[in-house]
Amino acid sequence: MNKDFALLAYFKTPSELLHAAQKAHEAGYRKFDAFSPFPIHGMDHAMGLKPSVVGVISAVGSLTFCGIAILLQGWTSAIQYPLVLSGKEFFSYQAFVPITFELSILGAALFAILGMFHFNKLGFLYNPLFNSEKFKVTNDDGFALGIEVRDPMFDDAKTMAFLQSLQPTDIEMVKEEE
């Protein structure tokens, strides 16, 4: 038994998609997305998206790894395993700078990627949109606006009429397996 998942309208150019996304946002739709083979300049604004918080997550990761690096080096060198080497201080913070720096960068990179994976739900290999053969063009040279059925504004007839008013090349209902 299949039920409806989203209504997709296909366009030929990035500017048509940008225009359509803006119209969808203005019409009050919220559970919609604009699919394109590459990021389109100005699309975040047109869709009314809030800025991505991946940066905050990355900063948290960087600070965490920075703290771990200082604790690891300080604790092992000064407390757990103090060795006299060339008369240097046990806690020689100057010498700890390079590794602290490298690990902070590692933390920033790892958390940025994990944060991005989380928000984009990467790793979930299945999405109902993949049931559509036609949807595949959006990774090649096609552009599509998809409005999900679970959007409170969604109404079979009205949404169809709205999408038709945007003059797409094609409209398709994608099904979801129950």
Partner 1 sequence: MSQISVKKAVETPLIEGNPTFGSITEKISQITETWKVPNPPVWLLGFGAALSLLMLLGGSIGYLFWRGIGVWGVQIPNAWGWAIINFVWWVGIGHAGTLISAILFLFRQKWRTSINRAAEAMTIFAVMCALVFPTIHVGRVWAIYFTLPFPNQMGMWPNFRSPLLWDVFAVSTYFTVSLLFWYVGLIPDLAILRDRAKTKARKIVTGILSLGWRGGNRQWQHYEKAYLILAGVATPLVLSVHSVVSFDFAVSQLPGWHTTIFPPYFVAGAIFSGFAMVLTLMIVVRKAYGIEHIITMNHLDKICKVLLATGLMVGYAYTIEYFTAWYSGNPYESFIFKARAGGQYAWAYWIMFCCNVFVPQVFWSKKMRSNIAVMFIVSILVNIGMWFERFVIVVTSLAQDYLPSSWDYFTPTFWDVSIYLGTFGLFFTFFMLFLKFVPMVAVSEVKAILPQADPHHHEGNHHE
Interface residues toward partner 1, by CB under 8 A:
13-15, 17-18, 21, 33-44, 47, 49, 52, 54-55, 58, 62, 72-73, 76-77, 80-81, 83, 85, 88, 92, 95-96, 98-99, 101-103, 105-106, 108-110, 112-113, 115-117, 119-127, 129, 136, 138-141, 146
Cβ-based nearer residue to partner 1, 123 or 157: 123
φ/ψ (deg, to 5) at 157: -75, -45
Enter the tokens of residue 173.
């209902």
The distance of closest approach from Cβ of residue 157 to partner 1 in the complex, given in angstroms and rounded to an integer, is 25
Q: Are 97 and 80 in contact (CB under 8 A)?
A: no
The distance of closest approach from Cβ of residue 162 to partner 1 in the complex, given in angstroms and rounded to an integer, is 19
Residues 6+ apart with CB under 8 A from 127: none
Cβ-based nearer residue to partner 1, 121 or 178: 121
Enter the tokens of residue 159.
């949404």
Q: How many CB atoms lie within 10 A of CB 174?
A: 21
Q: Are 111 and 63 in contact (CB under 8 A)?
A: no
The distance of closest approach from Cβ of residue 86 to partner 1 in the complex, given in angstroms and rounded to an integer, is 8
The distance of closest approach from Cβ of residue 72 to partner 1 in the complex, given in angstroms and rounded to an integer, is 6
